[in-house]
Amino acid sequence: MALFRPRLTDHYGILVPQADLDFAIPFLDEDIPLYADPFLLWRSPSQQDQALHTSLLNAFNHLGYLCASGQDAQAVTTLIAASECDEVGLGSSANRQGKRIGEAKAREILDLFKRIPQYNRAGFRHFEEIQFFVDGISKDRISDFTCSFLKSFLIDFTLQQCEQLRIPTSPADIPRLYNSRKNLFEEARGIQLPLNPRSRNPLIFVPKRWLRFVPWISYDDYFEKYCPQDEISHKPEELTRVAVLNYNRDHYGVIETYVKTKERTFEDCHNDPLFAQIPITSAKRKFSAIKNLPTGKDDGADKQYEDLIGQLLPSLLYPQLDFAQEQARTDSGVTIRDLIFYNTASTPFLKDIFDTYGSRQITMEMKNVAAIERQHVDQLNRYLADELGRFGLFITRHPLNRAEFTRTIDLWSGQRKAIVTITDTDIAQMVELFESKQRNPIDVVIKKYGEFRAKCP
């Protein structure tokens, strides 16, 4: 059985939690749902990031120089080449493949250097401003432009991280690597990079400090809070994106004011974490909702229970366990929902689970039943296979009755599989620990495992 939502580090057995790494760990089959925001480089206190931002702007503004000197074709080629950066895998693509912009769109962007006098004269200070003038350009494209023009630095960063973590690298060809001396994209061959073990395509890491869900300077933010909507149209149906973009082209001052405001409030601009824990009040509210739920399936109680636990546990167990995904499987015609976590082996307990039970991922089966029955134990037992490891948890309402508890002990005796049960009482204690911060909520799992092992022969 394969890993769920595999990441590069899991594939190579490198057990480090995402929270401890400087880069966003790439998934093998899908994109990381974050975007590189050039404003984070601009606002960074680090000289290196600021210099990279300058270099990024130089690369972009050079396109304006090319247009002004009659080399439009070269500018279009460069811009199209920069419009996608598959190696970094940021965005929302499900298959790590994106599409480049077309020639018409590239010309529309380059036309800004002629159309808007400020850009013609002084170039861009924040190239993400192109969102305000050209339709179809948004956060994913800004992120791709950023990564493409800075790819050379990102390759060095990736190599450094690979050396630190001992991630294997292989020679790979990069079809478009920006040469900032010649100001054009060239093919680079035989560059040492980690490869996606499935597709054999090279991977490039991006520092976490550059990533946000939405760029700081964004069209939606501008439209909602700063755009003079009444000036553009008094009729809501005519207030279209295209109308706003056209207005912006003729009123650069509005954009300039917006960007200045965003620059002034730069201290509020922070990178977004890949995973954010829910607040304590929310955790307590979710637990009280769980307590008030009846067992069984009436009124969708089972679904609600699974949803609430699915929102609660990833936060309670962070950062010791990275949440992978919630998944549904069918066993003997019954739909079972599990929470799957990456085992980072970051604590002695998790290391022990990894070594003893071979758990690269930890599965938690949610059961909103009055009592766990024989078939439930059998279902989880069948599921605890080699790849997933032989350690699993029931997240349920009440402790196991004697017969089923004995069955779990027998499973340990016969097959060295450990099934630990986490009940409402344990969840209550985890929420309490989550609030008080006196111990880690995962210590409750350790306690329950200790109690389970104490009963084993």
Partner 1 sequence: MVNSVRNAPESALKTEEEVRDLEKLVVQLQGLHTEISILAKKTPNDGLNLFKLKLVNSILTKGNSILVGHYKPLESFTNFDESALPTNSDVTMVLALYIEQAERFRSNNMIYHDFKWWYLVKGAASQIEGRPPTMIGTERK
Residues near partner 1, by CB under 8 A:
349, 428-429, 432-433, 436, 438-439, 443-444, 446-447, 450
Q: SS3 for 221?
A: helix
Q: Which is nearer to partner 1, 274 or 433 (CB)?
A: 433
Q: Which residues contact 267 (CB under 8 A, 6 or more apart)?
A: 43
Q: Which is nearer to partner 1, 14 or 428 (CB)?
A: 428
Q: Which residues contact 81 (CB under 8 A, 6 or more apart)?
A: 100, 148, 176, 185
* Shortest Å, Cβ 17 to partner 1: 20
Sign of CA dihedral 231, 235, 239, 242: negative
Q: 129 is written with which tokens?
A: 């401003």
Strand ranges, E, within 91-229: 170-179, 184-193, 211-212
* Shortest Å, Cβ 346 to partner 1: 16
Q: Which is nearer to partner 1, 11 or 439 (CB)?
A: 439
115, 49 in Cβ contact below 8 A?
no
* Shortest Å, Cβ 443 to partner 1: 5
For residue 418, the surrounding DSSP H or E stretch is: strand 418-422
Of 244, 243, 206, give the one whose Cα is nearest residue 223.
244
User: Which position has the token pair 């080629």?
Assistant: 77
| Mode of pairing for the β-strands spanning 211-212 and 35-36 | antiparallel
Q: Please state, in angstroms and rounded to a whole number, the distance separating the CA atoms of residues 5 and 14.
A: 15
* Shortest Å, Cβ 280 to partner 1: 13
Q: Which is nearer to partner 1, 331 or 443 (CB)?
A: 443
Q: Which is nearer to partner 1, 209 or 439 (CB)?
A: 439
* Shortest Å, Cβ 436 to partner 1: 5
Q: Which residues pair with 363 in a beta bridge?
A: 340, 392
408, 452 in Cβ contact below 8 A?
yes
Q: Which is nearer to partner 1, 296 or 450 (CB)?
A: 450
Q: Which is nearer to partner 1, 324 or 446 (CB)?
A: 446
* Shortest Å, Cβ 286 to partner 1: 18
Q: How far, in Å, are 96, 147, 188, 342, 413 from residue 93 at the CA level?
A: 6, 16, 25, 22, 45
For residue 40, the surrounding DSSP H or E stretch is: helix 38-43
Q: Which is nearer to partner 1, 330 or 438 (CB)?
A: 438
* Shortest Å, Cβ 427 to partner 1: 12
* Shortest Å, Cβ 435 to partner 1: 8
Q: Which is nearer to partner 1, 192 or 429 (CB)?
A: 429
* Shortest Å, Cβ 374 to partner 1: 29
Q: Which is nearer to partner 1, 364 or 444 (CB)?
A: 444
Angle value at C-alpha 124, between 120 and 130, nearest 5 degrees:
95
Q: Which is nearer to partner 1, 349 or 412 (CB)?
A: 349
* Shortest Å, Cβ 444 to partner 1: 6
Q: What is the C-alpha R_g of the chain?
A: 26
Q: Which residues pair with 248 in a beta bridge?
A: none
Residue 368 CB coordination number (10 Å): 22
Q: Please state, in angstroms and rounded to a whole number, the distance separating the CA atoms of residues 24 and 5.
A: 14
Q: Which residues contact 297 (CB under 8 A, 6 or more apart)?
A: 368
> At 53, which amino acid appears?
H
* Shortest Å, Cβ 35 to partner 1: 39
Q: Which residues pair with 195 in a beta bridge?
A: 202
Q: Please state, in angstroms and rounded to a whole number, the distance separating the CA atoms of residues 240 and 137.
A: 15
